[in-house]
A and B are shown apart, each in its own frame.
Chain A
Amino acid sequence: MSLLRVEGLSKLFGGVHAVAELSVAIEPGRIHSVIGPNGAGKTTLLNLVTGIYQPSQGRILMADEDVTALSTAARARRGVARTFQNLQIFFNMSAVENVMVGRHLHLSDRLVPTLLRLPSVMRANRAAQEKAVELMRFVGLAAYLDAEADAMPYGALKRLEIARAMASEPRLLLLDEPAAGLNPKETGEIDELIQKIARAGTTVVLVEHDMKLVMGVSDHILVLDYGRRLAEGTAAEIRANPDVIRAYLGTQAA
């Protein structure tokens, strides 16, 4: 059973196919990467999978359940979490609170106990906070436990998004360019972090331009070009694929 399957998926933006008749299966327990030139449809694919966009055609299945018509929140409930290429941080909250929001699905939010601040609410608050602190340490943000989100540097915010996504204990984690804008040292740390997450049992889908990172961590790579599947396979297979080389470097190089 595939964790995620898209079948004949298309997304049109005013006549342009951002994603075209794409069929892909994501197997559990591996690190999958989606690569391709700019505008290949990588982020569009993530937006379709998380329900931020509605597909023009095709179906999306999670563990064999058709989720095409479900909302973003309903899909999160089925175990999908993601980070964003252009950061989507809650800048009106502290770093820890950002991660606590990620725990939302595991917490009760009943109105009356909340208004009366019953002991059960206090306990849930404390547990969520402890979990958030643990996750911030896990992603390497131990130095920012007391920070407000709007006082943190870019590289730290990238990790904060990963911690927030992990807080929901997802089965499938979609990372949209986690290394973009990071220096080589920081990218190396993200590399380790991704492997740590995968080892802990979460299936990772990585959209990334940093080829060193992609080739190093991926068990399986999908190459998109103009919204279509250009190639699929292991890092070695992709590196040797003439179509991929042509798409990236032009026909002269091939």
Chain B
Amino acid sequence: MLRLASARTGGLVALAAIVAALPLFFPNNFYYDVAIKTALNAIVCIGLNLLIGYAGQISLGHAGFFALGGYASAILTARYGWPGLLAMLAGAVGVGLLAFAIARPVLRLRGHYLAMATLGLGIIVAIIINREIAITGGPDGMTVPRLWVGGWRVSGAVAWYWVAAGALLLAVWLSLNLIDSTLGRALRALHGSEIAAQTAGIDTTRYKVLVFVISAVFASLAGSLFAHAEGYVTPIEAGFLRSIEFVTMVVLGGMASTFGAVAGAAILTALPQLLTVFQDYKHLVLGAILIGVMIFMPNGLVPSVALSLRRLRPPVPAS
């Protein structure tokens, strides 16, 4: 436990240091833009990892929640003149309620059926956004006004970098807090053995619903920030491929690892940009890297690296 606590603080400090130092290496705004997208994807992945990695439930529809957050911010600020933060909050509450309403029937399903149901959910959101042209702008998307925080207008890549980085650190902190608690242990327990969890008095349905709602709210908030940061949202953000991308990030970085979710998001957001040097072979190289990681590190990057580090150290005798 002590070991866990130090890994937790150490990880947070290290992440904060990386986030603070990164801009020193950014030659231009393009790098800031990639970093902002990375941080916002990572927030979705941290929430999704609570659902997939810790509680053992799959969702192939989280891009739907991400887009709903983004469009809630876009529509409420652009068409109704709401303050940005209030719109963001309203989006999160709305998405939370939607997730709560569908969680009970959906989470009764397991495995492939749960995957299908959440997949359907994401597709429905994408269809609605595409069709309701009068409100959402349809397939062309819509522009999003700048975000005002108090009297400060958040604009420019540098400002957004610090906002996204702050939100990321906050998300990591919340996730770490959640996991190392009675609640977090209940989530992990229902993943480990649902029957044993129930026998220990854990109302497993309630916890599944709770973690589904939490992960949806994380996605919604990231979506809102994304809409403001980009100044533009399109239905692509709700798409099936986007949902798959989020799940891939979680799996690549390492299931049941908050820092793994961040690493997965960082790699899959930044790598395609860095791989442009391979030009036409970009996707081939990306695919090879993904396959390689999954073959040689089936537990994902961060847990595998953590394990080999632990093996390097001499074992501590039990007290």
Contacts and interface: CB of A to CB of B under 8 A. Distances in A.
Interface of A: 50-52, 71-73, 76-77, 81-82, 84, 88-93, 96-97, 100-105, 107-109, 111, 114-117, 121, 124-125, 128-129, 142-146, 164-165, 167-168
Given A107-B182, A109-B183, A124-B182, A72 B189 contact: no
B143 interface: no
Interface in B169-207: 174, 177-178, 180-186, 188-189, 191-193, 195-204
A164 B180 CA distance: 18
Given A52-B195, A89-B193, A104-B201, 16 more contacts: A76-B200, A76-B201, A77-B201, A81-B199, A90-B189, A93-B192, A97-B185, A97-B188, A101-B202, A104-B200, A109-B181, A114-B182, A121-B181, A128-B182, A145-B319, A167-B200
Contacts of A51: 198
B204 A73 contact: yes
B318 interface: yes
Which of A102, A116, A144 has the largest number of chain B CB atoms within 10 A? A102
Interface of B: 1, 3, 174, 177-178, 180-186, 188-189, 191-193, 195-204, 210, 256, 316, 318-319
A93 B198 contact: no
Given A88-B196, A93-B185, A96-B1, A168 B319 contact: no
Contacts of A164: 196, 200
A46 to B, nearest CB: 10
A8 B318 CA distance: 51
A90 B181 contact: no
Chain B binding site: helix, strand, loop or mixed by DSSP? Answer: helix
A92 B201 contact: no
A162 to B, nearest CB: 13
A178 B234 CA distance: 59
A140 B199 CA distance: 23
A101 B183 contact: no
Contacts of A165: 199
A104 B195 contact: no
A130 B1 CA distance: 11
A161 to B, nearest CB: 8
Contact of A88 (B195, B202, B316, B319): B195
A134 B203 CA distance: 26
Contacts of A168: 200-201
B174 A89 contact: no
Given A93-B192, A109-B181, A114-B178, A104 B202 contact: yes
A74 B199 CA distance: 9
A105 B192 contact: no
A71 B201 CA distance: 9
Contact of A146 (B188, B204, B318): B318
